[in-house]
C-alpha cells in the first residue's frame, strides 16, 4: 500500500491536484492507495497517530507544494516545518518516506538533505513513484527511478527527471475530497499540459516542470472537467504554467469544451503569457467558459520587459487587455517591481502605462524571488558577492542561501521602494499594492493564510483569488 500525505495546510485551501493524478496512476498499476489530508484534518497530530496505529503501508509519500510563500514582506519558509513533520511521522512508523511536489522539485536534493527524508522525486510523480514502489519491493535499483534523490552511505544521490511525454493523466479525481476543497477554496485546479519553453528570468517552472511543453489530449482534459462537473464543481483554475504556451493546444482544448457545451456550465481562469495571444483565441476561450485571465505582464516599460527576458512588448499588453474586454473576459496583469535595473522612472512608466491600457486589475508586488538555476540567480551572482550586493534582500543572517527566501530589489528604488510604488499608484483601486512595511495594511494580496479570502469563500464567493479580492475592494 502507498499512503500519500498532503502537508500543505495554507488557507484558503487549494486541493492537492498532484495527489489525485499520482493516486490514479498508482491504482492503475494495481497499488492500493490511501490519502491522509492534513489540510482537511481538525487535528494533524491525532490524525497521523490514529492512521499509523491502524495501517502499515509499504511507502509514504509526502506532498510538499510550497517551499516558501514567495512574498517579500512575509518571507515565510516552510522547510523546517516539513522536517518536523517527518520527525513526527518517524516516531509513529519506520516505513520509508518519499517527498515530491512542485516546490519540492525546485530544491529536491537540498530538501532531502535538510529533512533527512529517505527519498525525493523531482518532477512528475505518476510514473516515478510507481517505479520507486516496485524497486522497494524488488532489487532496489534506485538509479533507475527518474528524478529520484536517495541516500547512499551519508550522501544524497540524484537522478535526472525524464519529463514523460505524451502526457496522459487519470481523469477520475476521486482520491482527494474535491467537493470540500471547492467549498473551502472556491475553485478547483485542472492541467492541460506541463512544461514551458519560455525563459522568464525569475521562473523556476523550467526546473520543476521541464523546458518543453508536454500536452494532454483535449478530450482527456474535457473528460476530467466533466468528472468535476458531475460533483457540482463548476469553477476551475487551469494549473499550467501558461495556458497559451503552446497557443494551438490551448485553442484545441477550448474547441473540445465548446463541442461538449462545457462553456455554458463551467467558469474557468488561466495564467497566460502575453504572447502568443490574439482575438480568435480570446473569443473561443470565452465560449469555452473562460471568465478571467491573469497575464504574466511583468512590466509596462520596455527596458524592464527585456530585463525579465519577456517576449512581449507594451503594445502586446495593450492588445491583450483589449481582446479580453471585447470578449467579456476579466483581465488581470501581474507585474513585478524591483528587478535588475528598475528605477523610479521605470516604475512610473510601468504604472502609468497600465493605468492607460486599463485592465480590471493589476498585481504590483515588490521583489523577485531568486531561485537557483534561473537567469535571475546568474544575473545576481554576476553583480559580485551577494552578501554585500545592495540589491539582495533577505530576512535571515549569515551567508546568502538561495534555498531560503532571498529576493532581488533594485537599490535604485531607494530606502522605501514599496512607498515609492504606492505613491505612483496613488490609490488607484485597480492595483494590488505592495506592502509598505513601515505602514502595513491589514489586508494583502498574499494567498498565504488570507482571512479576507477565506471569509469571502465561506459566504459564497467563487473564482480566482485576484478576482474575488478585486470584487471585494471595488
Ligand atoms: C496554479 C497555481 C496556483 C493557483 C492554484 C489554483 C488551483 N486551484 O490549484 C493559485 C493562484 C491559487 C496559487 C496560489 C499560490 N501559489 Co501557486 N502555482 C500554481 C502553478 C502554476 C501550478 C500548480 C499546480 O497545481 N500544478 C499541477 C500539479 C499536478 O503539479 P504538482 O503539484 O507539481 O504535482 C506533480 C509533481 O510535483 C509531483 N508531486 C506532487 N505531489 C507529490 C507527492 C509525492 C510523494 C511525489 C513523489 C510527487 C508529487 O507529481 C505531481 C504530478 O506529476 C504553480 C507553478 C507550476 N507551473 O507548477 C505555482 C506555484 C506552485 N505556486 C507558488 C506559490 C508560492 C503560491 C502561493 C504561496 C502564492 C502566494 N503567496 O499567495 C499560493 C499558495 C496557495 C496554497 N493554498 O497553497 C510557487 C511555489 C514556489 C515555492 N517557492 O515553493 C509556484 C511553483 C509558482 C512559482 N514558481 O513561484 N498557485
Task: Please state the atom number of ligand 1 nearest to the C-alpha of residue 132.
Answer: 47
Let me know the angle formed at the C-alpha of 23 by 17 and 25, rounded to the nearest 5 degrees.
Answer: 110
Burial class (CB in 10 A: 0-12, 13-18, 19+), 440: exposed
Question: d(Cα 329, Cα 281) in Å, to the nearest integer?
Answer: 12
- Measured from the CB, is residue 436 less than 6 Å from ligand 1? no
User: What single string gives the DSSP state of each residue in 427-451?
Assistant: T-TTEEPPP-GGG--S--S--TT-H
- Measured from the CB, is residue 117 less than 6 Å from ligand 1? no
- Measured from the CB, is residue 444 less than 6 Å from ligand 1? no
For residue 435, the model assigns a pLDDT of 84
Burial class (CB in 10 A: 0-12, 13-18, 19+), 151: middle
What spacing in Å lies between the alpha carbon of 376 and ligand 1's midpoint? 20
Sheet holding 33-37, edge to edge: 33-37, 2-6, 59-63, 97-100, 119-121, 148-152, 155-158
Question: d(Cα 182, Cα 229) in Å, to the nearest integer?
Answer: 11
What spacing in Å lies between the alpha carbon of 69 and ligand 1's midpoint? 11
Global pTM value: 0.97
Burial class (CB in 10 A: 0-12, 13-18, 19+), 359: buried
CA 294 from centroid of its chain's CA atoms: 13
For residue 444, the model assigns a pLDDT of 75
Residues 252, 283: contact at Cβ < 8 Å? no
CB atoms within 10 A of CB 122: 27
Q: Which of 81, 239, 377 to mutate to test the pocket of ligand 1 (most atoms within 8 A of CB)?
A: 239
Question: d(Cα 446, Cα 466) in Å, to the nearest integer?
Answer: 10
What spacing in Å lies between the alpha carbon of 66 and ligand 1's midpoint? 7
Task: Please state the atom number of ligand 1 nearest to the C-alpha of residue 120.
Answer: 47
> Superfamily for 178-367+409-473?
tm_1862 like domain (3.80.30.20)
Cell of 337: 517591481
Question: d(Cα 121, Cα 148) in Å, to the nearest integer?
Answer: 5
For residue 438, the model assigns a pLDDT of 62
Ligand 1: residue whose CA is nearest its atom 1: 239
Helix ranges restricted to H, 260-362: 279-287, 302-307, 314-326, 344-357
- Measured from the CB, is residue 370 less than 6 Å from ligand 1? no
- Measured from the CB, is residue 447 less than 6 Å from ligand 1? yes
Residues 180, 188: contact at Cβ < 8 Å? no
- Measured from the CB, is residue 102 less than 6 Å from ligand 1? yes
For residue 161, the model assigns a pLDDT of 96
Largest Cα span, the chain: 65
Tell me the per-residue pLDDT of 443-472, one tens digit each, with 9 for 90 and over. 678 898 999 999 999 999 999 999 999 999
- Tell me which H or E stretch contains 100: strand 97-100
Cell of 269: 481562469
- Measured from the CB, is residue 65 less than 6 Å from ligand 1? yes
SS3 label, residue 45: helix
Q: Does domain 2-158 have CATH number 2.30.22.10?
A: no
For residue 440, the model assigns a pLDDT of 56
For residue 445, the model assigns a pLDDT of 84
Residues 39, 19: contact at Cβ < 8 Å? no
- Measured from the CB, is residue 192 less than 6 Å from ligand 1? no
Ligand 1: residue whose CA is nearest its atom 85: 103
Cis peptide before 166 (omega within 30 of 0): yes
For residue 443, the model assigns a pLDDT of 63
- Domain residue spans of the chain: 2-158, 178-367+409-473
- Mean pLDDT of successive 10-residue stretches along the chain, which has 474 residues: 98 98 98 98 96 97 97 95 97 98 98 98 98 96 98 97 95 98 98 96 97 97 98 98 97 98 98 98 98 98 98 98 98 98 98 98 97 97 97 97 98 97 96 78 78 96 97 89
Q: Which of 7, 12, 16, 66 to mutate to test the pocket of ligand 1 (most atoms within 8 A of CB)?
A: 66
For residue 436, the model assigns a pLDDT of 76
Task: Please state the atom number of ligand 1 nearest to the C-alpha of residue 17.
Answer: 29
Tell me the per-residue pLDDT of 232-253, one tens digit each, with 9 for 90 and over. 999 999 999 999 999 999 999 9
Cell of 41: 484534518
Question: d(Cα 117, Cα 129) in Å, to the nearest integer?
Answer: 15
- Measured from the CB, is residue 125 less than 6 Å from ligand 1? yes
For residue 61, the model assigns a pLDDT of 98
For residue 131, the model assigns a pLDDT of 98
Sequence-ordered list of residues with C-beta below 8 angstroms from that of 452, at least 6 positions apart, any chain: 443, 469, 472
Amino acid at each position: 500500500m502507498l499512503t500519500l500525505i498532503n502537508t500543505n495546510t495554507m488557507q484558503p485551501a487549494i486541493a492537492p491536484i498532484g495527489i489525485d493524478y499520482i493516486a490514479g496512476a498508482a491504482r492503475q498499476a494495481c497499488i492500493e492507495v490511501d490519502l491522509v489530508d492534513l489540510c482537511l484534518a481538525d487535528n494533524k497530530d491525532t490524525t497521523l497517530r490514529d492512521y499509523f496505529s491502524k495501517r502499515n503501508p509499504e511507502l509514504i509519500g509526502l506532498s510538499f507544494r510550497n517551499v516558501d510563500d514567495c512574498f517579500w514582506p512575509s518571507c515565510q519558509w516552510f522547510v523546517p516545518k516539513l522536517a518536523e513533520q517527518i520527525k513526527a511521522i518517524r516516531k509513529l512508523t519506520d516505513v520509508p518516506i518519499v517527498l515530491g511536489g512542485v516546490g519540492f522539485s525546485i530544491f529536491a536534493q537540498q530538501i532531502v538533505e535538510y529533512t533527512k527524508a529517505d527519498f525525493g522525486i523531482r518532477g512528475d510523480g505518476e510514473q516515478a513513484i510507481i517505479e520507486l514502489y516496485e524497486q522497494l519491493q524488488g532489487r532496489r535499483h534506485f538509479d533507475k527511478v527518474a528524478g529520484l534523490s536517495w541516500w547512499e552511505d551519508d550522501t544524497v544521490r540524484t537522478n535526472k527527471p525524464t519529463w514523460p511525454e505524451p502526457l496522459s493523466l487519470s481523469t477520475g479525481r476521486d482520491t482527494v475530497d474535491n467537493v470540500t476543497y471547492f467549498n473551502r477554496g472556491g475553485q478547483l485546479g485542472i492541467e492541460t499540459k506541463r512544461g514551458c519553453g519560455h525563459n522568464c528570468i525569475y521562473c523556476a517552472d523550467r526546473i520543476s516542470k521541464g523546458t518543453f511543453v508536454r500536452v494532454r489530449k483535449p478530450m482527456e482534459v474535457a473528460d476530467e472537467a466533466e468528472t468535476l462537473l458531475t460533483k457540482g464543481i463548476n469553477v476551475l483554475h487551469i494549473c499550467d504554467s501558461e495556458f497559451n504556451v503552446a497557443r494551438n493546444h490551448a485553442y484545441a482544448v477550448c474547441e473540445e469544451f465548446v463541442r461538449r457545451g462545457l462553456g455554458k456550465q463551467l467558469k474557468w481562469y488561466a495564467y497566460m503569457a502575453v504572447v502568443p495571444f490574439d482575438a480568435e483565441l480570446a473569443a473561443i476561450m470565452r465560449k469555452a467558459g473562460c471568465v478571467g485571465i491573469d497575464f504574466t505582464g511583468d512590466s509596462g516599460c520596455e527596458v524592464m520587459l527585456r530585463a525579465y527576458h519577456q517576449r512581449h512588448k507594451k503594445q502586446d499588453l495593450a492588445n491583450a487587455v483589449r481582446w479580453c474586454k471585447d470578449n467579456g473576459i476579466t483581465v488581470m496583469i501581474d507585474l513585478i517591481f524591483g528587478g535588475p535595473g528598475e528605477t523610479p522612472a521605470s516604475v512610473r512608466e510601468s504604472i502609468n502605462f497600465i493605468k492607460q491600457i486599463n485592465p480590471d486589475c493589476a498585481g504590483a508586488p515588490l521583489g523577485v524571488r531568486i531561485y537557483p538555476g534561473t537567469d535571475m540567480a546568474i544575473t545576481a551572482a554576476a553583480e559580485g558577492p551577494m552578501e554585500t550586493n545592495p540589491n539582495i534582500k533577505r530576512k535571515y543572517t549569515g551567508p546568502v542561501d538561495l534555498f531560503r527566501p532571498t529576493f532581488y530589489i533594485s537599490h535604485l528604488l531607494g530606502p522605501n521602494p514599496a512607498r515609492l510604488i504606492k505613491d505612483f499608484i496613488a490609490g488607484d483601486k485597480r492595483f494590488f499594492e505592495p506592502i509598505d512595511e513601515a505602514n502595513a495594511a491589514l489586508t494583502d494580496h498574499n494567498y498565504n493564510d488570507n482571512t479576507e479570502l477565506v471569509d469571502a469563500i465561506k459566504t459564497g464567493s467563487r473564482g480566482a483569488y485576484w478576482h474575488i479580492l478585486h470584487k471585494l475592494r471595488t
